[in-house]
Amino acid sequence: EYVLPTLINMYAECGDTRSAHAMFGRVPDGDCVVSYNAMITAAVRSSRPGEALVLFREMQAKGLKPTPVTLTSVLSACALLGALELGRWIHEYVRKAGLDSLVKVNTALIDMYGKCGSLEDAIGVFQGMESIDRQAWSVMIVAYANHSYGREAISLFEEMRKQGIKPDAVTFLGLLYACSHSGMVSEGLQYFDSMREYGIVPGIKHYGCVTDLLARSGQLEKAYKFIDELPIKPTAILWRTLLSACGSHGAVDLGKRVFERILELDDTHGGDYVIYSNLCANTGEWEEMNRVRKLMNEKGVVKVPGCSSIEIDNRVHEFFAGDARHPHARRMVDQVIEQLKLVGYVPNTSQVFHVEMGEEEKATSLRYHSEKLAISFGLLNTSPGTTLRVVKNLRVCPDCHSMAKLVSMLFNRQIILRDLNRFHHFEDGVCSCGDYCLKSYCKCSSYKSWYG
DNA sequence: CGAAACCTGA
């Protein structure tokens, strides 16, 4: 019976979750895998990976056997969450079920490993594939890009070309992304220009990568001009990319111009106000900072708190900035403070004092940073011998860097930090992407105040 | 019913 699943999918695609659920509820008992697949796919597509996993567990509890479709969708959910352990479990299942020859399943596995921080496993799956299609090549290039391995991404691209596989728009995104995150400006621009030879028309995301390429490397004015002269209307995202680079390069004058441009397009995005007001604070423009803070309050912007997540015993726990109520967060904060004391790395006592004194604002900030630290430690305190943990959304700054150094000395482990989009590998306290990530990617003033 | 895709902070 394929009518219900098709209806579920239709409703989900139109964004009508309620009707989709209603349809799902009408599926008779003993129900079909296909309906579950439709629901899981819908959840993943609308960025609700947690819901997808709940459905998956429910389905297993009913004794329904996952199909390749289920597995690819669930792997995609794992990728979104950074749920490496669950992803490995699925991989094991795939092997046992003899599904490891399916290109789509393998592609989903590569993507999952890439997004969950295990590049080695991604490479392992890639190399074990009998036939590799365009999408699998692209996903592997994106995985290298996310891990800041620009050279490797490029050589994979060249290899792909040699084998006569035609790159598509996504392949180029991965390639440009790799270049911008490895500081390979001229290479990136060259590849951007070569897109036409493949008959690919650059889209807004390609322009976004080039903006990032120029801006991150400090060519801020050039980036401004680039956006301004685009053949298509730039989105707020493009300007935001530039604004963030102005932030890391301390370019407050250009930052102001860019900020104005953003407000023309979208004045509801809280992050823009925060980036710009921080830039003002870092460059001593106090009046301007106050003006922006006020503006932000007047506009009633959407504030989405920063979120980090960790995986313990196959469950992913999410932590939001300023929220220390989560039992794991609480426990880890205490653990971290203990650990810090043990190695003589004592948190600034006056800040701890602020917590006791109940100065809300400062206490929140301490909790925020403690959580980030707690997460690093919490992860590293799990089973010895594992070298890999995933920390999502952790900003990298020199202080985190020294944190990483401390941790890798203490536990003799390799650690991997994942910030929003990419991974930093620290071994013996040294990041694999060299100075580049630290020089141009950090916004450390706020962290400094805590570590002293 | 199936996989990839630009930016981001207190």
pLDDT tens for chain A, 452 residues: list them. Answer: 567 777 776 777 676 777 777 777 766 654 688 899 999 999 999 888 889 999 999 999 999 999 999 999 999 998 888 778 889 999 999 999 999 999 999 999 999 999 887 888 999 999 999 999 999 999 999 999 888 788 999 999 999 999 999 999 999 999 999 998 888 899 999 999 999 999 999 999 999 999 999 998 889 999 999 999 999 999 999 999 999 999 888 899 999 999 999 999 999 998 899 889 989 988 889 999 999 989 988 887 766 555 555 554 455 555 554 444 444 444 544 554 454 454 444 433 323 322 322 333 333 333 344 444 444 433 333 222 222 344 443 333 433 443 444 444 333 344 455 554 556 665 544 555 544 444 333 333 322 222 22
Instruction: Please state, in angstroms and rounded to a whole number, the distance separating the CA atoms of residues A311 and A174.
Output: 27
**Strand duo A307-312 + A315-320: pairing:** antiparallel
Cβ–Cβ under 8 Å, residues A326 and A319 = yes
**Does any strand B atom come closer than 7 Å to the Cβ of A293?**
no
**Does any strand B atom come closer than 7 Å to the Cβ of A205?**
yes
Q: What integer pLDDT is reported at residue A299 of this predicted model?
A: 85
**Does any strand B atom come closer than 7 Å to the Cβ of A90?**
no
CA at A333, C1' at B5: how many angstroms apart? 36
Residue partners of A260: CB distance under 8 A and separation at least 6: none
CA at A140, C1' at B6: how many angstroms apart? 18
Instruction: Please state, in angstroms and rounded to a whole number, the distance separating the CA atoms of residues A40 and A73.
Output: 7
Cβ–Cβ under 8 Å, residues A36 and A64 = yes
**Does any strand B atom come closer than 7 Å to the Cβ of A135?**
yes
Instruction: Please state, in angstroms and rounded to a whole number, the distance separating the CA atoms of residues A205 and A433.
Output: 24
Q: Which nucleotides of B are covered by protein (CB under 7 A)?
A: 1-10
Q: What integer pLDDT is reported at residue A168 of this predicted model?
A: 95
**Does any strand B atom come closer than 7 Å to the Cβ of A213?**
no
Residue nearest the C1' of B4 (CA based): A139
CA at A337, C1' at B8: how many angstroms apart? 29
What residue ranges do the domains of chain A occupy?
A: 307-451
At how many degrees (to 10) do helices A103-115 and A68-81 cross?
10
**Does any strand B atom come closer than 7 Å to the Cβ of A280?**
no
Residue nearest the C1' of B2 (CA based): A69
Nucleotide nearest to A105 (CA to C1'): B3
CA at A110, C1' at B4: how many angstroms apart? 10
Nucleotide nearest to A306 (CA to C1'): B9
Nucleotide nearest to A269 (CA to C1'): B8
Q: What integer pLDDT is reported at residue A395 of this predicted model?
A: 38
CA at A208, C1' at B6: how many angstroms apart? 4
Q: What integer pLDDT is reported at residue A202 of this predicted model?
A: 95
Backbone angles phi, psi at A358, to 5 degrees: 70, 25
Cβ–Cβ under 8 Å, residues A285 and A317 = no
**Does any strand B atom come closer than 7 Å to the Cβ of A14?**
no
Cβ–Cβ under 8 Å, residues A188 and A210 = yes
CA at A130, C1' at B10: how many angstroms apart? 48
**Does any strand B atom come closer than 7 Å to the Cβ of A257?**
no
HEC profile of chain A: CCHHHHHHHHHHHCCCHHHHHHHHHCCCCCCCHHHHHHHHHHHHHCCCHHHHHHHHHHHHHCCCCCCHHHHHHHHHHHHHHCCHHHHHHHHHHHHHCCCCCCHHHHHHHHHHHHHCCCHHHHHHHHHCCCCCCHHHHHHHHHHHHHCCCHHHHHHHHHHHHHCCCCCCHHHHHHHHHHHHHCCCHHHHHHHHHHHHHHCCCCCHHHHHHHHHHHHHCCCHHHHHHHHHCCCCCCCHHHHHHHHHHHHHHCCHHHHHHHHHHHHHHCCCEHHHHHHHHHHHHHCCCHHHHHHHHHHHHHHCCECCCCEEEEEECCEEEEEECCCCCCHHHHHHHHHHHHHHHHCCCCCCHHHHHHHHHCCHHHHHHHHHHHHHHHHHHHHHCCCCCCCCCCCCCCCCCHHHHHHHHHHHHHHCCCEEEECCCCEEEEECCEECCCHHHHHHHCCCHHHHHHHC
**Does any strand B atom come closer than 7 Å to the Cβ of A134?**
yes
Cβ–Cβ under 8 Å, residues A396 and A417 = yes
Residue partners of A171: CB distance under 8 A and separation at least 6: A134, A137, A138, A141, A157, A160
**Does any strand B atom come closer than 7 Å to the Cβ of A277?**
no
Instruction: Please state, in angstroms and rounded to a whole number, the distance separating the CA atoms of residues A409 and A403.
Output: 10
CA at A16, C1' at B5: how many angstroms apart? 25
Instruction: Please state, in angstroms and rounded to a whole number, the distance separating the CA atoms of residues A278 and A284.
Output: 10
φ/ψ bin of A361: left (φ > 0), alpha (ψ from -120 to 50), beta (otherwise): alpha
**Does any strand B atom come closer than 7 Å to the Cβ of A423?**
no
Cα A110 to Cα A36, A56, A272, A329, A392: the distances in Å are 24, 20, 33, 30, 18
Contacting residues 323-362/A vs strand B (CB within 7 A):
none
Nucleotide nearest to A208 (CA to C1'): B6
Q: What angle do CA A308, A107, A84 make, to 5 degrees?
A: 30
What does the radius of gyration of chain A's CA atoms come to, in whole angstroms? 23
